[in-house]
Amino acid sequence: MRNRATTKALPGLLLAVFSLGFQSMSPQDILSRSVKAHGGDKLSNWKSMTIKGTIDMYDGITFRAAYALYAQAPDKLRVEEDMTAAQGGRYFYDYFMNGEVAWSRRNLVPDRGNLEEMKRWMARCYGIAYYANKAESLTLKADAAVEWREKKDIQSREYKAVATSPAYVVAATIGKETFDLYIDKENFHFLQEVSGRTRRVFWNFKKFGDVIMPTQLLEITAGPRGEQITPYTYESVKYNVLIEDWLFTEDMPKIKVGRWALQHRVGYQEGHDAESVEVDGAERGPERLFFRVRPH
């Protein structure tokens, strides 16, 4: 009887030990397993990356726009959101970063850019590997469930939960920002990123070459009028393909000696008398993008 009871208790004991082992995983272990689940070093050791897909953009009604991202390590990025086919005429947004310079364009008209936002966009190209490599501190938080929501058709504004997945939650601090990272407890896929008022949910993962990436993404921003939800789909993701240099320099702001100005009347500031200047980064002013310069 004693041996039989011990035999019956053994599976439960093993399950408890197994569960305890996973509960004691460190946040570093969780991120390391997530990086491995997404392709290991392939997730970050690339020279170029292109993504093609769609984005649903709301302008009175919802338009399904073409979405394209071109990235070249370490600091060149171009993002295109093109509603021309859906809306007719010419209707698109482009966002650029080249080194420490960011700018944007709407229907071929250049405008200021948000450098910090473009840097965050570039960081997200590395997926969970960015946080695993760059986090200054990691904290394991209580487990949670990630919810995936869908709407019945493109014009509907109501999203309903259609699936959930239990997740580890790791808080990663980089500089002054903290990101809550939700990692699937079963397959270690990176399911959700939360920072401030914005969370990004990733779903339906697929292998693109040697890397596992989501094919669906919801960007959810909380505001005074409720949540604003922007859905993306990734139809293709390619690594280390040739990207023409001009894609990262088109309508790029220029510096002129004696005054500094942006092309196409984006805005300029006069009064600098130096014969030569050194670009010391780009800043976004209250109204315009401008360059901070200093004479040699």
- Our measurement of the distance from residue 130's CA atom to the centroid of its chain's CA atoms, rounded to an integer in Å, reads 10
Tens digits of per-residue pLDDT, 220-273? Answer: 999 888 899 999 999 999 999 999 999 999 999 985 433 434 443 333 333 333
Higher pLDDT, 207 or 58: 207
Give me the percent of the chain exceeding a pLDDT of 70. Answer: 76
Question: Cα dist. 215→40, 54, 182, 262 in Å?
Answer: 19, 10, 17, 37
Contact residues for 114 (Cβ-Cβ < 8 A; gap 6+) = 102, 104, 284
Residue 200 has pLDDT above 50, yes or no: yes
- Rounded to 5 degrees, φ, ψ at 11 are -60, -40
Least confident segment among 15-29, 106-120, 151-165? 15-29
Tell me the residue type at 277: V
Give me the percent of the chain exceeding a pLDDT of 90. Answer: 68
- Our measurement of the distance from residue 14's CA atom to the centroid of its chain's CA atoms, rounded to an integer in Å, reads 40
State the pLDDT confidence band at 23, using cuts at 50, 70 and 90: low
H or E stretch at 8: helix 2-23
Tens digits of per-residue pLDDT, 26-82? Answer: 999 999 999 999 999 999 999 999 999 999 988 778 889 999 999 999 999 999 999
Q: What is the pLDDT of residue 87?
A: 58
Query: Rounded distance, CA 69 to CA 53, Å?
Result: 9
pLDDT (average), residues 106-117 = 92
Least confident segment among 197-201, 216-220, 247-251, 286-290? 286-290
Residue 112 has pLDDT above 70, yes or no: yes
Tens digits of per-residue pLDDT, 231-244? Answer: 999 999 999 999 99
Tell me the residue type at 7: T
Rounded to whole angstroms, the maximal C-alpha distance in the chain is 97
Query: Rounded distance, CA 171 to CA 194, Å?
Result: 9
Q: Are 50 and 247 in contact (CB under 8 A)?
A: no
Residue 85 has pLDDT above 90, yes or no: no
Q: What is the pLDDT of residue 37?
A: 98
Q: Are 107 and 92 in contact (CB under 8 A)?
A: yes
CATH, domain range 43-239 = 2.50.20
Question: What's the pTM value of the predicted model, to 2 decimals?
Answer: 0.78
Tens digits of per-residue pLDDT, 127-143? Answer: 999 999 999 999 999 99
Domain assignments of the chain as residue spans, ordered by start: 43-239, 253-295
Tens digits of per-residue pLDDT, 156-173? Answer: 889 999 999 999 999 999
Tell me the residue type at 108: L
Q: Could you tell me which residues are beta bridge partners of residue 97?
A: 77, 102
State the pLDDT confidence band at 18, using cuts at 50, 70 and 90: very low
Question: Cα dist. 294→215, 262, 274, 279 in Å?
Answer: 46, 17, 8, 7
Q: Count the neighbouring beta carbons within 10 Å of the beta carbon of residue 14.
A: 10
Name the DSSP letter for residue 212: E
Residues in the chain: 296
